[in-house]
Structure 1
Amino acid sequence: MRVNVLQHTPNEGPGAIASWCYDRGHDMYVYHPYQFGKLPSAEETDMLVILGGPMSPNDDLDWIKAERTLIAKLIASDTPIFGACYGAQQIAMVLGSEVHKAPHKEVGWAPVYLKSHAINSLPEKMLALHWHEEMFEIPDGAHLLFSSDLVENQGFVFGSHVLGLQFHFEPLADNVREMVVNDGDYALDHNDLKQTPADILKQNVPAENKTIMYQLLDFIAK
């Protein structure tokens, strides 16, 4: 299977998603549309992964609109799609929902709580990395999958092959360090989790997060 990954900033890479591709025998192709303006075609995409980034889906940029055109084609063909943070917001907009400022800016580690058993065997409570100040509304026909203490809409599943998370399960330890050393100042400005870059680095990435990431990708890929 060809897994096409859309990466939107150098310091937010695929992390455990790359490990999943390797372990499952899939070929991963990483695109950087914010820099090169290139996207895969729907015909050459067996799964699409849309990663996070500092931009907003509401930004008036041609490549952001082109991503949504691609997402719409893939949803119509029932192709598996996973979105993290900005990526989930892009999916939500394609499904007719709005993206706007969240009631709380979350940067750092905080628990999320399972709200639906649409995907079997997920824990009721998980510690995830948050790095956002916008949020999506849950699309019509989708199930609310996760909530946090500060922001209700943290994840959704649409049908059997489309999944969006406002937070991050994909970063491994190296990825967290890369995010913090390059974008740690984002945590210092009106962060409702009250965590500094040093606080974020002190927390070890929970071992279960990689397992959960695999479960989510297995679910939409089946």
Structure 2
Amino acid sequence: MSAIHIDKVVTSGTFSLDGGTWDVDNNVWVVGDDAECVVIDAAHDAAAINEAVGSRRLTHILCTHGHDDHIDAVADLSSLYPDAKVLIHDGDRMLWDRVISDPPDGALTDGQRIPVGGSQLKVLHTPGHSPGACCFLLEDADVLFSGDTLFQGGPGATGRSFSDFGTIIESIRERLLTLPAETVIHTGHGDDTTIGAEAPHLQEWIDRGH
């Protein structure tokens, strides 16, 4: 039985792109055991995330993608945990560079495995919402952290710069809907869902074309 547990921190702030700004609530995921953990998407509030980390060793700050609402607390959180490695896919460096002046510590790559608490998070490159968008699969628990690639009710938005609807549909079809139906999806915003709940609706999303 895995000792891994998952903590959800909901933080509030703004998302800005293409000249617009919107108020958003983000899901920040802290994944680990009692000794160490990783943070998925350091959004808005480093203090709240730090409280969830607690006394554990933070090994990685992982970014599902480079939109500012998902990385705007990275610098503050990283200053609290200088040994934690900040990783983002190279495809989103142009988004990262708009928000953070220092480079990340490394690049996420498809198939890479991030160790945490005796388990592993597998990196799935799922472009579409952004070119470097990634999901993280906790394989031994059938849990997926989907960022903004897949939500309860459909794919992430593709109406702004650097996004593409056809690409996100291909990513979801080929990389996510092939996972076991019982896989729980922890999203970047909003409520959880499962692969089994979303898979039957793929054609509806394609027909809707949003």
Q: So what's the TM-score if we normalise by structure 1? A: 0.35
TM-score after normalising by structure 2:
0.36
Normalized per residue, the structure richer in strand is 2
